[in-house]
């Protein structure tokens, strides 16, 4: 399927001292996302969307990867390399944020104005607009605001993570004759961050006012009898990784629910203020949040760019967005024919979002309403708060099926939704378990047991992505439906292991973390290297979201130095330096950033004439290999395997539009096609392919 490099003498790998910094690589990924916001050929509102995605990514980076200042100063053992590396990375993050706001102010806002879309500041409003905004403030905003003047009886209030707030310095005396000069105004999350002006005062086009601008223009009304001097909006980001000692809790669900109540008030790690915030107020806030100067970000605009995604929904301008993508129904599923009967003839692959997740829903729906189906088992990692799939599981319970779900309560930022689903399913009689103590259950699988004559037969669904209908329209993933007895038996054994925590039997086909996935991957990588060293083809092509596990990196370097030809398609962080002379000459690293978020995990190995292809729920990170329950499973059918190679590997290796190649110093350069008229984008080509397939099927029917 792929060509192979010639063999060469192995060299000393010494990977530990030559790997790239993970956090710097994460920042490089966000620069590649930001590039989409900079492209003039991208529709204006989509450019804004990418800008907001970078802001959301940076929020999560600060919340998870940056340790609180207090822990750093204490030299706490849990402080990881990421926290230390971030100190050196701080100037680069500041530069990235400055680029974001420069793009927002200098390009996007003027571009929106050309299309009749304006966000009008307080100083630019005409008298009619000011009257309307004042009425809106008095009616909708002021009743929800409660200014807090600071004094010994009113200490600095608790400020929630990523919430909008104002700090105000007041002149004059308060009602009791005291000169308490600092006040805080917390802005409730229930208030919309953008408000559309009615047509009668908006003028031509669509005009909006930002909530922060509305409050800023009426701060004086909140402090009668005082003079408002210095003021600024501010936003604090807090460390938000839930830390629960699983060895010391009796009920993990209860402990996590209690932890969620405190997540919004963890230790501060970043402070954002308006660019014009005075030195006095900024230093006051830094002291309150116990933050060093490098944690302060002065921004030329709203302190939360991510909330501007509301503008995309508030504006009816299809020409400023991508054409709507409507995925086709899975091409390998015949509508109106039992999916169980189709699976008896062979496995089914669904390539999302080019094909619809509806195929998976129909598979489960058929099982729920089939009286011959006796049991349904499923893992739940991220389903979202509104899930048709979970509704089907509840219907299955009501219809008397034996329903068992493995709910991952520690799925980051989805903990509350998962706890709610677990409680709802338990309440109606489903068997709910929470996986293995100390591990996250990250594998995605659905197993159905059906009576057929005198025998019971299993049907399974394995996926590289989550059971989430929203992300299924935005993420590239592979769903694998199968009736393979060996593979479904492996799935059954894994479910028994997760529920009973009994010893895992030897699996037939699947590899499972944390038991043998890591070791088997290293063995496959080493085998490809040995094959190349022996003069036989040795080839590895792996697609994943991140590559940070040092043992896997070391194995890849060994294999490359033995002559194996290695292509890595890594969307995000990658610590392996590519094409370093005398070190990683045979290893190429590519990142593809497109309209859809790349999420498929596909691993191809060739040793001599033997080719193996695996799908997986796991990235090549230490946490996936050692601290999560993950599965990798082979695709054996030659036609299905070739389809995956063509669509998920070859297409991306030939992408000349959305691909970035890593240089030996760890930086990335966007691929420039030799012929711009023949430029090939993998995602766009797949959209066209499946659109054509769908139209062809419609014509035939």
User: Catalytic positions, please?
Assistant: 442
DSSP class of residue 156 equals: P
**Under DSSP, is residue 402 helix (H, G, I), strand (E, B) or coil?**
strand
CB-facing half-sphere around the CA of 226: CA atoms within 13 A: 25
DSSP class of residue 619 equals: -
Q: The sheet that has 268-274: what strands, in order across it?
A: 148-149, 182-186, 165-171, 227-238, 268-274, 296-299
Q: Using the structure block, give the residue that is written with the tokens 């370093």.
A: 580
Nearest partner of 189 among 211, 168, 169, 218, judged by Cα: 211
Q: Using alpha carbons only, what angle is made at residue 300 by residues 298 and 301, rounded to the nearest 5 degrees?
A: 115
As beta bridge partners, residue 457 has 450
Please list, in sequence order, all residues whose beta carbon lies within 8 angstroms of the beta carbon of residue 646, skipping any fewer than 6 positions away.
none
Phi, psi of 150, deg, nearest 5: -85, 130
Rg (CA), the chain: 28
Residues of 552-586 as b/e, b for ≥16 C-beta within 10 angstroms?
Answer: bbbbbbbbbbbbbbbbbbbbbbbbbbbbbeebbbb
Q: Using the structure block, give the residue that is written with the tokens 């709610």.
A: 420
Residue 380's Cβ-count burial label (10 Å; 0-12, 13-18, 19+) is buried
Phi, psi of 279, deg, nearest 5: -60, -35
Nearest partner of 254 among 492, 423, 439, 34, judged by Cα: 423
Do 167 and 161 meet the contact criterion of CB atoms below 8 Å apart? no
> Cα separation of 320 and 43, whole Å?
5
The two three-digit tokens of residue 134, written as one number:
């004042």
Nearest partner of 269 among 26, 99, 86, judged by Cα: 86
As beta bridge partners, residue 587 has 566
Q: Using the structure block, give the residue that is written with the tokens 């037969």.
A: 457
> Cα separation of 97 and 281, whole Å?
21
Nearest partner of 93 among 294, 362, 367, 379, judged by Cα: 294
> Cα separation of 611 and 607, whole Å?
7
């Amino acid at each position: 399927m792929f060509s192979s490099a010639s063999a060469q003498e192995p060299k000393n790998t010494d990977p530990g001292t030559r790997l790239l910094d993970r956090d710097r690589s994460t920042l490089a990924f966000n620069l590649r996302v930001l590039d989409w916001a900079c492209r003039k050929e991208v529709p204006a509102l989509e450019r804004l969307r990418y800008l907001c995605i970078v802001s959301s990514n940076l929020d999560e980076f600060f919340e998870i990867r940056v340790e609180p200042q207090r822990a750093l100063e204490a030299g706490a053992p849990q402080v990881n390399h990421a926290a230390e590396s971030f100190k050196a990375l701080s100037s680069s993050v500041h530069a990235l944020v400055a680029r974001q706001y420069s793009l927002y102010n200098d390009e996007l806002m003027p571009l929106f104005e050309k299309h009749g879309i304006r966000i009008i500041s307080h100083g630019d409003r005409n008298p009619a607009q000011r009257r309307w905004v004042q009425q809106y403030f008095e009616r909708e905003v002021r009743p929800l605001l409660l200014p807090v003047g600071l004094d010994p009886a009113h200490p600095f209030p608790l400020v929630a993570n990523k919430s909008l707030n104002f700090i105000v310095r007041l002149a004059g005396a308060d009602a009791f004759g005291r000169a308490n000069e600092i006040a805080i105004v917390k802005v409730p999350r229930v208030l919309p961050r953008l408000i559309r002006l009615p047509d009668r005062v908006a003028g031509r086009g669509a005009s909006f006012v930002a909530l922060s601008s509305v409050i800023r223009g009426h701060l004086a009304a909140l402090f009668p009898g005082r003079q408002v001097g210095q003021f600024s909006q501010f936003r604090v980001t807090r460390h938000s990784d839930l830390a629960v000692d699983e060895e010391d809790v009796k009920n993990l669900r209860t402990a996590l629910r209690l932890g969620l109540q405190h997540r919004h008030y963890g230790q501060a790690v970043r402070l954002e203020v308006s660019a014009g915030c005075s030195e006095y107020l900024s230093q006051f806030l830094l002291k309150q949040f116990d933050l060093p100067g490098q944690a302060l970000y002065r921004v030329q605009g709203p302190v939360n760019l991510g909330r501007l995604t509301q503008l995309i929904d508030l504006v009816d301008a299809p020409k400023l967005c991508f054409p709507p993508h409507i995925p086709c129904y899975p091409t390998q599923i015949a509508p109106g024919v039992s999916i169980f009967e189709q699976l008896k003839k062979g496995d089914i692959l669904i390539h999302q979002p080019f094909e619809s997740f509806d195929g998976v829903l129909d598979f489960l729906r058929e099982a729920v309403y089939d009286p011959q189906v006796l049991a349904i088992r499923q893992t739940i990692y991220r389903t979202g708060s509104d899930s048709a799939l979970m509704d089907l599981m509840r219907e299955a319970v009501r219809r008397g099926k034996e329903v068992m779900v493995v709910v991952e309560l520690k799925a980051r930022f989805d903990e509350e939704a998962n706890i709610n689903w677990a409680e709802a399913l338990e309440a109606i009689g489903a068997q709910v378990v929470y996986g293995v103590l100390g591990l996250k259950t990250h594998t995605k699988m659905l197993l159905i047991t059906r009576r057929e004559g005198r025998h019971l037969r299993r049907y399974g669904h394995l996926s590289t992505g989550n059971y989430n209908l929203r992300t299924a329209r935005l993420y590239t993933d592979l769903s694998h439906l199968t009736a393979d007895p060996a593979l479904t038996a492996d799935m059954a054994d894994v479910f028994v292991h997760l529920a009973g925590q009994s010893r895992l039997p030897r699996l037939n086909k699947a590899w499972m973390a944390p038991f043998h996935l890591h070791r088997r991957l290293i063995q496959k990588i080493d085998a490809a290297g040995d094959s190349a060293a022996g003069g036989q083809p040795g080839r590895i092509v792996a697609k994943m979201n991140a590559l940070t596990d040092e043992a896997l990196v070391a194995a890849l370097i060994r294999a490359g130095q033995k002559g194996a030809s290695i292509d890595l398609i890594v969307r995000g962080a990658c610590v392996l330096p590519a094409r370093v002379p005398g070190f990683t000459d045979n290893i190429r690293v590519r990142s593809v950033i497109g309209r859809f978020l790349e999420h498929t995990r596909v691993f191809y190995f060739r040793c001599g004439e033997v080719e193996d292809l695996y799908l997986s729920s796991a990235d090549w990170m230490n946490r996936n290999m050692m601290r999560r329950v993950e599965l990798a499973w082979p695709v054996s059918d030659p036609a299905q395997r070739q389809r995956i190679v063509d669509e998920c590997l070859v297409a991306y290796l030939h992408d000349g539009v959305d691909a970035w190649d890593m240089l030996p110093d760890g930086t990335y350069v966007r691929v420039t096609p030799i012929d711009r008229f023949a430029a090939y984008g993998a995602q766009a080509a797949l959209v066209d392919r499946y659109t054509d397939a769908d139209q062809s099927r419609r014509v035939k029917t």
